[in-house]
């Protein structure tokens, strides 16, 4: 029996060795390339039979090209190849382990121990497991993404936070009542994983894939916190697969909400009559739903509070009964959309009349606008007179030159013909002069008075004594004068234009009054109190609200200090650019953060604020090794020009605001950069310093912490990372997060 087992094991090893030799020989002739998105979609759809997908792990996920594409996504490097990947992990080893169903998830999990004795530990996947998780996410996106509801946002391409806010501002009409579903702070446990497995099995027939997902949760490689502030923020405790699994889990809820919306749409519509003008306004009962991962907002339009309460009860019943969620009844309360604000996606929503979003100009603004228009007209008149003067001088010079040439009998000789160009120039000048003349009512009146002053030619006894040709010519001339120069038609046209403008203003005013009485729009603002509290908590301002230096950053280089401030500022600007009070965030970034950075630089170099401004300027310019200027912090002009233009899914400022990375002055042996698949060895050591540990505040304590602001897990505090100059710059500027770094390979210093 022993020899039989030994023979079997040796046969398996020989087969593996032969497959590896064949793999390497094929790579020698055909180098491995990542699979494209189109090819991956085709490959996944080939596994679909009778509405289900079969053996995705063996036929798709385990393929080396798919795993290499996963490495490409993790590194954000399009030109990644197997050579750079093989320095960290073995693609063929992962592929063989997946095909033979012997991939060990537990060995790929690293436990991060915090510095505090009573601190909570965190389990993170290593780079090998991250590659597998990303490959599974890529496959699940193709399987499920097209079947998700249109109001399901988060973790999807083109369906981010700003897209959800745009939907609320443009689609939601006349909101009456709303409620936000709040969950108790809990972790995705075994019952949720079992339900998730059943949901996945409805569409995918792959036992090994289901077992992998269960092991991810069992060994805490995946950790989903419901009712918290850590989802979709780029924190290291969150995986790229979390968003997709949450959308899959809540897909049944989305379909239930679609069913309820169709049910309400089929019911009798509501009609209201204006008692003043007798106008009829069609107001159907509608339900709007927006879900960003585990944040759910339900809005009703033209519905009574009783109907909204019934809808809320059905929603809570489905979430608790079917999905097994723990709903916080206190947070899930109905609010009036007009009199009460509601928090969603870190912003405040309120229903307001259209005149609040598009206010009518006041008398002072109208006077200022008229004054500006008059100044603009005077400026245009000055430019027109200057242009006419230049043309007159140029024309006189041309005529004088031509006259001299002709008088001397010289012949004009040119290398090329310019007659056509000169003729076009003079024709254009003449047309502009004639058009200006006809547009001027005063000039037309003056010339009309001059041409019609010869009234004696209209007398009969005078006309009889003149030649007939002269009388006919005069009559024809007077007809042309009356046709083209009479100011009466021009004056009537101007009066008609003025009356038309006045009527349009009256109509617009009447429509705005009716809209204010009959319509409601969505107003989105950044919570001012929370933003000010976050600024004060991070140390940008003192107790009086004035900028102050952050002494923790003094040990950094000048460039890194400016980059850290620039990363926080740009994230704040990108996140709140869709808000109505975006000007408040602009002031915070342009004034408080800018001068806090200047004061930090002044504190570092033991100088005054004016000396720091004189050296770096207010735009915080720095010079590179070649002497060229570099500007990382957004300039004042750039901040003024920002607005609600780009629809992106920006990461909140939480990760950049609550973390500072400090370089260590130690001599350690050179190692690879810990950014995913970066092959640079010119690295330095940086220690992570977290805000909650620095000020000794628990992020769950909402009285001392900022409500709605997440935090990086405390187990990463004071961990040391080896990073190259490019990736530490991207980390400071907010282009990457700790989720893009292999934190399990931290350096023990």
- Per-residue confidence band for 734, with pLDDT thresholds at 50, 70 and 90: confident
Residue 520 corresponds to which tokens in the numbers above?
């409601």
694: closest CA among 546, 539, 544, 541?
539
Q: Tokens standing for 19?
A: 């497959």
Distance of CA 285 to the CA centre of its chain: 32
Confidence of residue 16 (pLDDT cuts 50, 70, 90): very low
Which of 425-434, 439-448, 611-620, 726-735 is the least confident region? 439-448
User: For tokens 């060895």, what's the residue?
Assistant: 681
Q: Is residue 182 over pLDDT 50?
A: yes
As a whole number of angstroms, the distance between CA 537 and CA 702 comes to: 12
Q: What percent of the chain has pLDDT over 70?
A: 86
Q: Taking 70 as the threshold, does the pLDDT of residue 629 lie above it?
A: yes
Tokens standing for 150? 């249109």
Q: Pairing mode, if any, of strands 109-112 and 122-125?
A: antiparallel
304 vs 599, residue with greater confidence: 599
Strand partners, 133: none
How confident is the model over 67-78, as a mean pLDDT?
86
Residue 621 has pLDDT above 80, yes or no: yes
Which 3 state secondary structure label does DSSP give 570? helix
Give me the helices (H) in 250-362, please: 251-266, 305-321, 354-357
What pLDDT, on the 0 to 100 scale, is given for residue 81? 78
**Alpha carbons 2 and 152: distance in angstroms, whole number:** 57
pLDDT at 311 over 70: yes
Spell out where 204-248 has E strands: 204-205, 225-226
- Is residue 201's pLDDT more than 60? yes
**Residue 248 confidence (pLDDT) above 90:** yes
The 10s digit of each residue's pLDDT in 568-587 is: 988 888 888 888 888 888 88
Round to whole Å and give the CA distance between 126 and 89: 10
Half-sphere exposure of 167 (CA within 13 A, CB side): 18
| Per-residue model confidence (pLDDT) at position 512 | 77
Q: Report the phi/psi class of residue 631: left, alpha or beta, with left for phi > 0 and alpha for psi in -120 to 50.
A: beta
pLDDT for res 267: 65
Flag whether pLDDT at 244 surpasses 70: yes
Greater confidence (391 vs 490) lies with 391
Using the predicted structure, report yes or no on whether residue 599 has a pLDDT greater than 90.
Answer: yes
CA distance 30 to 84: 17
- Which of 123-137, 192-206, 422-436, 619-633 has the least mean pLDDT? 422-436
pLDDT at residue 436 above 60? yes
Give the best-scoring range by mean pLDDT among 237-241, 394-398, 462-466: 237-241
pLDDT score for 179: 92
Q: What's the confidence (pLDDT) of residue 199?
A: 92
736: nearest Cα among 659, 637, 641:
659
Cα separation values, 523 from 34, 306, 357, 673, 701, Å? 45, 25, 7, 45, 29
What local confidence, expressed as pLDDT, does residue 289 receive? 92
Distances, alpha carbon 549 to alpha carbons 418, 632, 718, in Å? 68, 19, 22
Supply the pLDDT for residue 87. Answer: 82
Please state the rounded mean pLDDT for residues 277-295: 78
pLDDT value at 280 more than 90: no
Give the pLDDT band (50/70/90) at residue 24: very low
What's the mean pLDDT when you consider all of the chain?
82
Average pLDDT over residues 522-528: 90
The pLDDT score that the predictor gives to residue 601 is 92
- Region of 686 on the Ramachandran plot (φ > 0 left; ψ -120 to 50 alpha; else beta): beta
What is the predicted pLDDT for the residue at 246? 92
Q: What does DSSP say about strands 629-631 and 621-623: parallel, antiparallel, or unpaired?
A: antiparallel
Beta-bridge partner residues of 343: 348
318 against 703, higher pLDDT: 318
The yes-or-no verdict on residue 75 having pLDDT over 70 is yes
- Mean pLDDT lowest among 190-199, 235-244, 299-308, 636-645: 636-645
A 10 A CB-CB count for 95 gives 20
> 434-464 in b/e burial notation, b at 16+ Cβ within 10 A?
eeeeeeeeeebbeebeeeeeeeeeeeeeeee
**pLDDT at residue 414, as a whole number:** 57
The beta strand positions in 31-161, using DSSP E, are 48-49, 52-54, 109-112, 122-125, 152-153
Give the global pTM. 0.79
Strand order in the sheet with 152-153: 152-153, 286-292, 295-301, 175-181, 335-336
SS3 250: coil
């Amino acid at each position: 029996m022993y020899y039989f087992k030994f023979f079997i094991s040796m046969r398996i090893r020989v087969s593996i060795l032969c497959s590896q030799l064949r793999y390497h020989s094929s790579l020698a002739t055909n180098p491995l390339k990542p699979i494209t998105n189109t090819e991956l979609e085709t490959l996944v759809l080939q596994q679909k039979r009778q509405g289900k997908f079969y053996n995705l792990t063996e036929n798709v996920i385990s393929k080396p090209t798919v795993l290499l594409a996963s490495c490409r996504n993790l590194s954000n490097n399009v030109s990644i190849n197997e050579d750079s990947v093989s320095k960290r992990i073995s693609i063929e080893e992962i592929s063989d382990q997946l095909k033979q169903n012997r991939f060990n998830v537990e060995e790929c999990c690293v436990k991060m121990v915090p510095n505090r004795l009573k601190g909570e530990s965190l389990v993170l996947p290593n780079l090998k497991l991250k590659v597998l998780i990303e490959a599974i996410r890529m496959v699940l996106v193709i399987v499920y993404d097209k079947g998700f509801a249109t109001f399901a946002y988060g973790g999807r391409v083109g369906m981010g936070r700003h897209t959800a806010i745009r939907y609320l501002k443009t689609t939601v009409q006349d909101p009456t009542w709303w409620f936000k579903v709040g969950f108790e702070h809990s972790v995705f446990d075994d019952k949720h994983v079992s339900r998730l497995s059943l949901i996945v099995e409805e569409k995918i027939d792959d036992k090994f894939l289901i077992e992998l997902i269960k092991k991810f949760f069992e060994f805490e490689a995946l950790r989903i916190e419901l009712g918290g502030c850590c989802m979709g923020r780029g924190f290291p405790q969150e995986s790229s697969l979390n968003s997709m699994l949450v959308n899959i889990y809540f897909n049944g809820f989305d379909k239930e909400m679609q069913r309820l919306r169709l049910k309400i749409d089929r019911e009798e519509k509501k009609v209201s009559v204006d008692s003043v003008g007798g106008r009829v306004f069609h107001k159907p009962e509608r339900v709007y739903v927006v879900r960003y991962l585990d944040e759910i907002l339900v809005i009703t339009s033209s519905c009574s509070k009783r109907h909204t309460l019934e809808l809320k009860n059905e929603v809570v019943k489905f979430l608790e009964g079917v999905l097994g969620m723990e709903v916080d009844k206190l947070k899930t309360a109905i609010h009036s959309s007009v009199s009460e604000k509601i928090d969603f996606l870190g912003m405040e929503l309120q229903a307001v009349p259209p005149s609040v979003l598009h206010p009518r100009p006041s008398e002072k603004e109208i006077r200022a606008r008229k004054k500006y228009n008059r100044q603009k007209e005077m400026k245009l008149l000055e430019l027109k007179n200057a242009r006419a003067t230049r043309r007159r001088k140029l024309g006189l010079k041309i005529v004088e030159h031509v006259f001299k040439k002709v008088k001397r009998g010289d012949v004009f000789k040119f290398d090329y013909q310019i007659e056509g160009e000169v003729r076009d120039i003079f024709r254009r000048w003449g047309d502009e002069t004639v058009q200006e003349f006809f547009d001027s009512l005063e000039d037309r009146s003056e010339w009309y008075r001059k041409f019609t002053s010869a009234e004696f030619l209209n007398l009969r006894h005078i006309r009889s004594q003149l030649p007939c040709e002269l009388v006919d010519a005069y009559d024809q001339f007077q007809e042309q004068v009356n046709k083209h120069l009479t100011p009466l038609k021009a004056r009537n046209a101007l009066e008609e234009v003025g009356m038309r403008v006045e009527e349009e203003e009256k109509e617009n005013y009447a429509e705005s009054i009716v809209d204010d009485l009959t319509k409601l729009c969505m107003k989105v603002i950044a919570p001012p109190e929370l933003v000010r509290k976050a600024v004060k908590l991070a140390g940008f301002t003192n107790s009086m609200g004035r900028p102050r230096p952050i002494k923790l950053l003094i040990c950094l280089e000048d460039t890194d200090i400016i980059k850290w401030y620039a990363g926080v500022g740009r994230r704040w600007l990108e996140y709140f650019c869709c808000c109505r009070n975006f000007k408040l965030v602009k002031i915070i970034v342009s004034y408080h953060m800018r001068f806090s950075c200047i004061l930090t630089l002044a504190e570092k170099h033991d100088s005054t604020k004016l000396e720091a401004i004189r050296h770096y300027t207010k735009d915080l310019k720095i010079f590179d090794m070649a002497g060229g200027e570099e500007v990382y912090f957004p300039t004042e002009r750039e901040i003024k020009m920002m607005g609600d233009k780009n629809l992106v899914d920006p990461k909140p400022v939480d990760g950049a605001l609550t973390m500072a990375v400090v370089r260590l002055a130690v001599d350690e042996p050179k190692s690879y950069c810990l950014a995913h698949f970066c092959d640079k060895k010119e690295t330095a050591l940086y220690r992570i310093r977290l805000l909650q540990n620095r000020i000794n505040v628990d992020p769950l304590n909402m009285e001392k912490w900022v409500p709605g602001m997440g935090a990086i897990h405390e187990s990463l505090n004071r961990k040391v990372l080896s990073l190259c100059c490019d990736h530490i710059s991207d980390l400071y500027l907010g282009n990457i997060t700790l989720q893009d770094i292999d934190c399990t390979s931290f350096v023990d210093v």
